[in-house]
């Protein structure tokens, strides 16, 4: 088994999780981390014992021994330049969503990765949520027939809404619903989105951050199937910890429903009242195990680098997701449905089908 050398850029909440997963993986030989906050750098370094720990991420890119880079930095304006520099330096790249802020930037990253023969994937961790994976399996094995419609309703607390809205002016469609847009387009592939209608609400977040409280998006696919995605980030801080999600997938021969509201485990104390642990979207350590999708997603990327496999999320698919949430933002602004045009291409030129990627795992 080939071992790989990994660099992590940004070791905050998500980057810290990924650094710990890499440090514990048998696929990783050397770990290197970069973080601009020196206190956090020391904290993560103490947990993961990297070969190098630096405040300048370019030190990682200049290291010829590093095979791949995980970019978990914020704000999101850093994603494109860091990914561009990493790919140009010949590193495989795992990039937290969003892939970029502009389609032209996404196109450049995808082309650069192809030109250099490098792996390039985007962090859509909900594909590694076992409940979501079961929905995918129900489609792949024909249990529900051909999918007809789908609904995902996701709400997170205003703690995270304030954090995101305070650092960049991106909507819930771009920063939250994007996970569910990715998931549903993955389930319905190779069918592509052709029309998007979105409505937003401004009540809680407008005075402080001038971002919407929620976005409700209706996506029509080229065969007439319909997806509905709702995303909001103004739940009260106490319930649940970060994410409450409901999924409905209806097909020609059946349906599958997913309760991912995290009401199955709760803690109640005299001091803090009722809390809902194990409810963050990335997941968290619970003693000797990890509850959530982010560790599995990180390990999947390490396996792909070590074994030369295509990661489950392609850059092309992430670009399609980007087109949908950009159309949703435009629809909400203009108050009308927005059409998405696709060039007439042979079926063979489309992105790899979910069946191909699933079988390659």
Residues 99 and 191 in one domain: no
> Does the pLDDT at position 358 exceed 50?
no
pLDDT, tens only, 243-276: 899 999 999 999 999 999 998 999 999 998 888 8
Q: Full-prediction pTM beyond 0.85?
A: yes
Specify the pLDDT at position 357. Answer: 38
What is the CATH number for 69?
3.40.50.720
The values of phi and psi at residue 69, to 5°, are -120, 135
Domain hosting residue 352, numbered range: 131-289+314-360
Residues 152 and 206 in one domain: yes
Domain boundary (118, 139, 167) is at 118
Q: How confident is the model at residue 361 (pLDDT cuts 50, 70, 90)?
A: very low
The whole-number average pLDDT for the span 349-357 is 41
346: its two tokens: 């042979």
Residues 150 and 277 in one domain: yes
The conformation of residue 145, written as its DSSP 8-state character, comes to -
pLDDT, tens only, 202-214: 999 999 999 999 9
Give the count of beta carbons closer than 10 Å to the beta carbon of residue 206: 13
Residues 148 and 268 in one domain: yes
What does the mean pLDDT of the chain come to?
93
What is the CATH number for 151?
3.30.360.10
- Is 32 a member of any domain? yes
Residues 144 and 185 in one domain: yes
Residues 104 and 191 in one domain: no
Residues 167 and 277 in one domain: yes
Q: Widest CA span of the chain, in angstroms?
A: 63
Residues 102 and 140 in one domain: no
- Is 304 a member of any domain? no
Residues 201 and 271 in one domain: yes
pLDDT, tens only, 167-181: 777 899 999 999 999
> Does the pLDDT at position 354 exceed 60?
no
Domain boundary (60, 91, 118) is at 118
Give the count of beta carbons closer than 10 Å to the beta carbon of residue 341: 6
Specify the pLDDT at position 348. Answer: 36
The whole-number average pLDDT for the span 20-42 is 98
Domain boundary (51, 86, 118) is at 118
Q: How confident is the model at residue 353 (pLDDT cuts 50, 70, 90)?
A: very low
What's the structural domain count of the chain? 2
Residues 78 and 149 in one domain: no
């Amino acid at each position: 088994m080939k071992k790989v050398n990994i660099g992590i850029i940004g070791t905050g909440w998500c980057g810290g999780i990924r650094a710990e997963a890499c440090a514990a993986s048998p696929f990783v030989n050397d770990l290197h981390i970069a973080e601009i906050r020196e206190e956090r750098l020391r904290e993560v370094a103490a947990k993961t014992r990297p070969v190098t720990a630096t405040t300048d991420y370019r030190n990682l890119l200049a290291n010829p021994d590093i095979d791949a880079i995980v970019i978990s930095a914020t704000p999101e304006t850093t994603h494109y330049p860091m990914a561009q520099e990493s790919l140009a330096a010949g590193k495989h790249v795992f990039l937290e969503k969003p892939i970029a802020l502009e389609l032209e930037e996404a196109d450049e990253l995808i082309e650069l990765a192809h030109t250099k023969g490098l792996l390039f994937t985007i962090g859509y961790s909900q594909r590694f949520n076992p409940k979501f994976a079961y929905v995918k399996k129900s489609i792949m094995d024909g249990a529900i027939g051909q999918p007809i419609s789908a609904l995902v309703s996701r709400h997170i607390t205003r703690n995270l809404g304030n954090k995101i809205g305070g650092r960049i002016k991106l909507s819930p469609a771009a920063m939250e619903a994007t996970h569910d847009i990715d998931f549903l387009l993955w389930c319905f592939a190779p069918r592509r989105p052709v029309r998007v209608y979105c409505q937003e609400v401004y009540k809680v977040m407008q005075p402080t951050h001038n971002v919407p409280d929620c976005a409700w998006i209706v996506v029509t696919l080229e065969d007439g199937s319909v997806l509905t995605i709702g995303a909001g980030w103004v739940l009260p801080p106490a319930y649940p910890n970060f994410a409450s999600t409901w999924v409905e997938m209806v097909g020609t021969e059946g349906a599958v429903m997913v309760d991912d509201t995290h009401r199955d485990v709760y803690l109640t104390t005299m001091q803090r009242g009722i809390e809902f642990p194990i409810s963050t979207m990335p997941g968290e350590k619970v003693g000797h195990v990890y509850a959530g999708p982010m560790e599995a997603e990180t390990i999947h990327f390490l396996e792909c680098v070590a074994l030369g496999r295509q990661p489950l999320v392609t850059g092309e698919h992430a670009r399609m997701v980007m087109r949908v949430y950009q159309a949703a933002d435009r629809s909400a602004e203009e108050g009308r449905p927005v059409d998405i045009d696709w060039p007439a291409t042979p079926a063979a030129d489309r992105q790899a089908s979910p069946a191909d990627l699933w079988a390659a795992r």
